[in-house]
Amino acid sequence: MASTISPPGPETLPSPEDQQKAAEQLLRRLPSLPTVSARLLGMMGRADVNLKEVSNLIISDAALTGEILHMANSAMFGVRSEVRSILQALAVLGTEKVKGLACTVALRSYLGNALQIPALKRCWRHNLATAVVTSELAEWARQDSGEAYTAGILHDIGRLGLIAVDPAKYLTMLDAAVGVSGCLCDHERAAYGLDHAFAGEWLARSWGLPEFICSAIRAHHRPQTARYDEIGGLINYGCRISDVLGFSAIEGLQIEDDPLEEFLGLIPAAQRERMNINPRELQILIASRVNALEA
């Protein structure tokens, strides 16, 4: 049961200018992304990218190619026959899904050994679950599920950045946040001078990610302003629903609202009836897909 300890008060929180300075310092300390991953991230927003271009870039990195093929053949996608090449993966899964998988591999390698620490692994699993939930929500809302997956896997890159810079420091902050009410963002601002949404937008811009992803990352803990079926709205619900389904970054997080019910209430009635969603079944589906991506 959560205690009633409060998060850091407003007097300890930095101004936007101070957050800006903290973000600049953070960016300088971040380990750089492998070149191929950085170029792939830069391709995310380009609508004119062709399959051959994406394929050529991925196959220039043997480890990345192997991991993407491994994930493409996982239970997450349920492909009928084995996917043996990146071009085939692009044809079977579509460019957006393969870009999403490339992002997953790139970010996971970014975290490196920090993933051995259970509390930090929990943060990573929250990201994976949000990507899976967001892509499912996109299908319900009749949007591009591959694009939604990518946005979901990237939504908490600010947190992954904070972890990559200093895993021990983030772990100490997470420990202090367990059982304390409020958003983790309050603890981050007190510990780092900025929160992960702010850091995430900075990172996204520095990696050349498209504007709609940058602004969705910045706003994902603010009160909902985007439509439920736009990327910003899908990410907001995806993050909150993955918390409710047991994939929160903080262990034992107490959640009072029901974002899944809220989301379903926004979907046109006729469409909702056809979907026949059961929260327990959804939890099992998400867990199995997250596990498949991690296997």
Q: Is 61 in the site for Fe ion (CB under 5 A)?
A: no
Q: Which residue stretch of 64-72, 154-162, 175-183, 224-232 sits at the interface with Fe ion (rule: CB under 5 A)?
A: 154-162
Cβ-proximal residue to Fe ion, closest one: 239
Q: Is 239 in the site for Fe ion (CB under 5 A)?
A: yes
Q: Which is nearer to Fe ion, 90 or 253 (CB)?
A: 253
Distance CA 51, CA 23 (A): 35
Q: Is 201 in the site for Fe ion (CB under 5 A)?
A: no
Distance CA 160, CA 231 (A): 20
Query: CB count, 10 Å around CB of 261?
Result: 12
| Shortest distance in whole angstroms from residue 25 CB to Fe ion | 21
| Shortest distance in whole angstroms from residue 292 CB to Fe ion | 20
Q: Which is nearer to Fe ion, 105 or 239 (CB)?
A: 239
Q: Which is nearer to Fe ion, 147 or 156 (CB)?
A: 156
Binding to Fe ion, residues 67-106 (CB under 5 A): none
Encoded tokens for 126: 């929250």
| Shortest distance in whole angstroms from residue 197 CB to Fe ion | 6
Maximum distance among all alpha carbons in the chain?
58
DSSP letter string over 86-110?
HHHHHHHH-HHHHHHHHHHHHHHHH
Alpha helices in the chain (DSSP H): 16-29, 35-43, 51-59, 62-72, 86-93, 95-111, 118-140, 145-154, 157-165, 167-177, 184-192, 196-206, 211-219, 231-242, 259-266, 269-275, 279-294
Q: Is 216 in the site for Fe ion (CB under 5 A)?
A: no
Q: Which residue stretch of 74-82, 99-107, 232-240, 286-294 sits at the interface with Fe ion (rule: CB under 5 A)?
A: 232-240
| Shortest distance in whole angstroms from residue 82 CB to Fe ion | 33
Q: Which is nearer to Fe ion, 98 or 110 (CB)?
A: 110
* Residue 4 and residue 180 in contact, taking contact as beta carbons nearer than 8 Å: no
* Radius of gyration of the chain measured on its C-alpha atoms: 19
| Shortest distance in whole angstroms from residue 106 CB to Fe ion | 18
Q: Is 156 in the site for Fe ion (CB under 5 A)?
A: yes
Residues near Fe ion, by CB under 5 A = 156, 239
